[in-house]
Structure 1
Amino acid sequence: MKLIIVTVVEEFHKEIQHLFKKAKIESYSSSDIDGYKNNAALLMSSNWFASEKGGNESVMFFSFTDEEHIESLFDLIKEFNSNLETNNPVKAIVVPIEKYI
């Protein structure tokens, strides 16, 4: 068993839920988060109110699942990212679990 963590901008929330379903990962959790990039020049030029620094509305998904389902999800995410027209790819990591109850 491993833990998969996926982060995505809010705009792709529904699409990622669909990818989890396609990968046959039926049990997962999600949480709203704020995403930040530490590129000050980019933040200042893209923000009308330069003194305000806010994050992008994002979502973090996570699930405890097996390698087979994780590989399937990774393949689907790679395909999804290859078709993006934005600079906000889906990010995913896998964390091994030593013990669980």
Structure 2
Amino acid sequence: MKVKKIPQRMCTGCMEMKSKKELLRIVHSKEGEISIDLTGKKPGRGAYICNSIDCFEKSYKTKRLERNLGGKISEEIYGKLKDKINYEDEINHE
């Protein structure tokens, strides 16, 4: 039986390769809209980040997400992303 290949992506915070399912995807659509892609299937340029507040902070300080997506990310999107990571972190620690 053939072994199924697991897609790997790089986190913009820690710069480590991880499986795509472990990471959150942020997408920049053709219309110029930047949003969090919970399904991982929205069309557009994607960047990935771990479900870790440390990775979020590193990515925010160095503006790696903005560079990878090729656009300015609003504070609203950063806020939503931080809330999502904090929520996931709380669930994982229970």
**TM-score of the aligned structures, taking structure 2 as reference length:** 0.34
Give the strand-richer structure, 1 or 2: 1
Which of structures 1 and 2 has the bigger CA Rg?
1
Higher relative contact order (CA 8 A, sep 6+): 1
Give the helix-richer structure, 1 or 2: 2
